[in-house]
Structure 1
Amino acid sequence: MSGPRSIDQVLAEARRRLVRLTPGEAYREFAEGDAVLVDIRPQAHRAGEGEIPGSLIIERNVLEWRFDPASSARLPEATGYGLRVIVICSEGYTSSLAAASLQDLGLNRATDVIGGYRAWRAVGLPTTGAPWPAEPDPTYH
């Protein structure tokens, strides 16, 4: 599609390409070693909300460079284009855009977590850090 698009249109386009996971599905893949779970939340969000033990912390602004197998800035985990990357953010918006961007690089198995970290924590999956519940993030509606 050419021309201006709203962020809601961009998000909807991204999500049409993803097979998004519930927190439980994401946890199973991560716990079984079938996927890399990547937390893209900024440090302030992690400090306020807590973290997922064992997840990779990679802030959104460098995600593509860290997972592109052809990048000199890639992580050791970026072993190839078939890698299963599950992206998580606070509420599941930014992670959808990030996962679609990874797919644009050729990581076609990239996806994200429906509802993000808040949904993960709400169903009682492992976390560390901040007390719960966290205050709603005013940047999301």
Structure 2
Amino acid sequence: MSSVLSEAPSTEDLPAELRAARERAQAQGLGHAGGVAPPVAWALFSEGQALLVDVRSGEERKFVGQVPGSRHVAWATGTALTRNPRFLRELEALVAREAGPGAPVLLLCRSGKRSALAAEAAAKAGIANVFNVLEGFEGELDARQQRGHGDGWRFHGLPWVQD
């Protein structure tokens, strides 16, 4: 892979919230850099301190909504959510083009589960500083089998748009 992998800055160069997330991830033995809550992700993204990449399918982004200005690299595609075999190459190219080596990257999905898997795959591939946005865009299912009533990007009232 390219220089996105080999030129990661030291951890001290990360914003404090991401250094803390990395420390928590190491303590928990996670296979990726860690996770941050949606409000923290929005603050980092809106201040230009991190690249926000939505890993949901194109259909989810179109019909459920998306964060304005976020980038898109699908972890899985279609209604069957078939794993995208080009995910790592596409993510690496996006990071190299838009953020640079070692820049913080925040991955967002529906509930935080797919983005955690994507962050772990990125870490295993050597892509530095890829973090999961906890709770995702819609949040977890509640007792009524509905999302968005207790957590998630939209629950927190953060900016989003819909086609």
Q: Which runs of 5+ in 2 are unaligned?
A: 1-27, 76-83, 139-151
When the two structures are aligned, how many residues end up with a matched partner?
A: 112
Deviation of the 1:16 alpha carbon: 5.3
Distance across 2 between alignment mates of 1:38 and 1:57: 5
Q: Which runs of 5+ in 1 are unaligned?
A: 1-12, 69-73, 131-141
**Which of 100, 103, 121 is matched with 2:154 structurally?**
121
Give the aligned residue type for 1:91. S
Calculate percent identity across the aligned residue pairs: 31
Q: Which residue of 1 aligns with 2:88?
A: 64
Q: Which residue of 2 aligns with 1:35?
A: 50
Aligned pairs for 1:45-124 within 5 A: 45-60=60-75, 61=84, 62-68=86-92, 74-75=93-94, 76-77=97-98, 79-80=100-101, 82-118=102-138, 119-124=152-157
Tell me which moved more, 24-33 or 102-111: 102-111
Distance across 2 between alignment mates of 1:100 and 1:16: 5
Distance 1:64 1:126, change over 3 A: same
Tell me which moved more, 43-52 or 27-36: 43-52
Tell me which moved more, 58-67 or 111-120: 58-67
Distance 1:122 1:101, change over 3 A: same
CA contact 1:84–1:109 (8 Å) conserved in 2 = yes
Distance across 2 between alignment mates of 1:101 and 1:48: 27
1:73-102 deviation line (CA, Å, top 9, x unaligned): x2312522x121100001110000101111
Aligned to 2:98, the other structure's residue is in SS state coil
CA contact 1:91–1:116 (8 Å) conserved in 2 = yes
TM-score, normalised to structure 1's length? Answer: 0.72
Distance across 2 between alignment mates of 1:67 and 1:45: 18
Distance across 2 between alignment mates of 1:43 and 1:85: 19
Give RMSD over aligned pairs: 1.9
Distance across 2 between alignment mates of 1:44 and 1:54: 17
Aligned to 1:122, the other structure's residue is in SS state coil
